[in-house]
C-alpha cells in the first residue's frame, strides 16, 4: 500500500512530503499556482530569448544538452535538500528554459508555428485531465496508480537505455519516424498526461496539511510532468510533419 501511495513523478514521492520541519503556514493550491505560473514565465522568457539568438545566427548547439544536464543535477540536489526548494526550483526552471529553448528553436526553424501548436495541445490536455479529475470521471484508485507508475517507469527506462546506446552509435527505434516510433510516442504522451492525475491527487491530499515551503516541491513536480508532456507532444507533431 505504501508503494501505491506514491506517484510516477519523483517530486511527489513520500520522501519529499515527510514532515521533517513543522510550520504554522500550510501548503495551498493558490500558492502552488502562483509559483508554477512564475516558473512558467521564467521558462517562456528564456525560450523566447534563445529563439531570437538562433534567428540572429548564434549557435545554440549546447543549450539543450547543457540545460538538460543542469536540470538533472538540480533535481538530484533538490532530492536531498528540499528546504532549498525556493532557490533550486527557479534554477530548475532556468535550466529547463535553456533545454526547451534549444529544442523548440530547431523545431520552429524547420516547422514554423509547430511549437505554438504543441504548447496549445499541452495546455488543453492539462485542463482536460484536471476536469476529468475534479469531476471524478476518472477516479484515482490504487490500481490506477500502480498501472501508471509501472508504465511511466518503463518509459523512462527505455529512454535511458536509448540515450546510452546513442553513445555507441546505436540508434533506437524511438527516435525515428516509423509507425512503431510514432506509436511509442503516442503511448508516452498518454501516460505523461495520466501522470497529472496522480499529481493532482497528491496535491489535494496534502493541501492545508504540508508545510508552506513544500509548495515549491509541488511546483517542481508539476513542471516535471508538464515539460515531459510538452516534449512528447512536440516530438510527436514533428514526426507527423516529417512523415506527412
pLDDT band at 141 (very low <50, low <70, confident <90, very high): very high
Burial of 200 (0-12, 13-18, 19+ CB in 10 A): buried
Mean pLDDT of 102-111: 89
The pTM of the full predicted model, rounded to 2 decimals, is 0.85
**Cβ count near 42 (within 10 Å):** 18
- Phi and psi, residue 26, nearest 5°: -115, 160
How far is 130 from 194, CA to CA, in rounded Å?
10
How far is 151 from 187, CA to CA, in rounded Å?
10
pLDDT band at 113 (very low <50, low <70, confident <90, very high): confident
Q: Answer whether 216's CB lies under 8 Å from 85's CB.
A: yes
Amino acid at each position: 500500500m505504501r508503494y501505491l501511495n506514491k506517484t510516477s513523478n519523483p517530486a511527489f514521492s513520500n520522501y519529499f512530503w515527510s514532515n521533517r520541519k513543522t510550520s504554522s503556514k500550510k501548503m495551498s493550491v493558490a500558492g502552488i499556482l502562483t509559483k508554477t505560473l512564475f516558473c512558467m514565465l521564467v521558462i517562456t522568457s528564456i525560450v523566447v530569448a534563445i529563439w531570437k539568438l538562433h534567428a540572429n545566427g548564434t549557435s545554440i548547439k549546447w543549450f539543450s544538452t547543457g540545460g538538460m544536464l543542469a536540470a538533472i543535477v538540480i533535481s538530484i540536489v533538490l532530492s536531498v535538500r528540499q528546504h532549498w526548494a525556493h532557490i533550486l526550483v527557479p534554477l530548475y526552471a532556468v535550466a529547463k528554459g535553456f533545454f526547451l529553448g534549444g529544442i523548440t528553436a530547431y523545431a520552429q526553424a524547420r516547422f514554423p508555428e509547430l511549437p505554438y501548436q504543441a504548447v496549445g495541445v499541452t495546455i488543453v490536455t492539462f485542463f482536460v485531465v484536471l476536469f476529468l479529475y475534479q469531476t471524478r470521471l476518472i477516479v484515482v484508485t490504487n490500481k490506477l496508480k500502480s498501472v501508471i507508475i509501472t508504465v511511466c517507469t518503463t518509459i523512462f527506462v527505455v529512454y535511458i537505455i536509448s540515450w546510452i546506446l546513442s553513445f555507441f552509435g546505436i540508434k533506437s527505434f524511438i527516435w525515428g519516424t516509423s509507425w512503431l516510433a510514432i506509436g511509442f510516442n503516442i503511448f508516452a504522451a498518454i501516460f505523461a498526461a495520466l501522470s497529472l492525475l496522480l499529481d493532482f491527487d497528491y496535491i489535494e491530499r496534502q493541501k492545508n496539511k504540508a508545510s508552506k515551503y513544500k509548495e515549491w516541491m509541488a511546483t517542481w513536480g508539476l513542471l516535471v510532468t508538464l515539460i515531459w508532456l510538452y516534449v512528447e507532444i512536440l516530438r510527436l507533431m514533428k514526426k507527423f510533419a516529417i512523415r506527412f
